[in-house]
Amino acid sequence: MAWELILWLFSFVVVISLVALTAYQLICLSDLEFDYINPYDTSSRINAVVIPEFVVQGTLCTIFLLTWHWFPFLMMAPVTYYHFKLFTSGRHLIDVTEVFRQLNGEKKYRMIKLGFYFCLFLIVIYRLVMTAIVVLIDEDDHPLDSGSF
């Protein structure tokens, strides 16, 4: 049962990193909209974190599949597939010359993704707390199993 607690702790850290990466991308786009940063810097900053975000999200989805946690896996599978399709079609990076034309769409896309990651965050928090409680209760039921004292 301790491995499940480790899984949910790992998932907690990963989902926080996904929320942070998406929020960072959204902040970069907002800075571009208010003319605090130029299009080249915005594109290079966002493009630098897109691939790591896809890899981390895909890895978490695979871990849920391998550990037979079906609800989180089925929740994340469509997003993972969408990221895979974006990557294979070459539409995952922001083009410097088109960034102003795509600004509203990119912001909406990242807001939806941020909402999705927040929902996933709530599920992971719930499962982490429930697993920790079960582990602590189970540990209290069997004190000194070794019998050495």
Q: What is the pTM of this model?
A: 0.89
Say if residue 21 is exposed, middle or buried (CB neighbours under 10 Å; 0-12, 13-18, 19+): buried
* Domain spans of the chain, in order of start: 2-52+94-139
Per-residue model confidence as pLDDT tens digits over 47-68: 999 999 999 999 999 999 999 9
- Residues 93-123 have pLDDT tens digits of 999 999 999 999 999 999 999 999 999 999 9
**What gap in Å lies between CA 124 and CA 52, rounded to an integer?**
20
Band of the pLDDT at 2, cuts 50, 70, 90?
Answer: confident
With a cut of 60, say whether residue 20 has pLDDT above it: yes
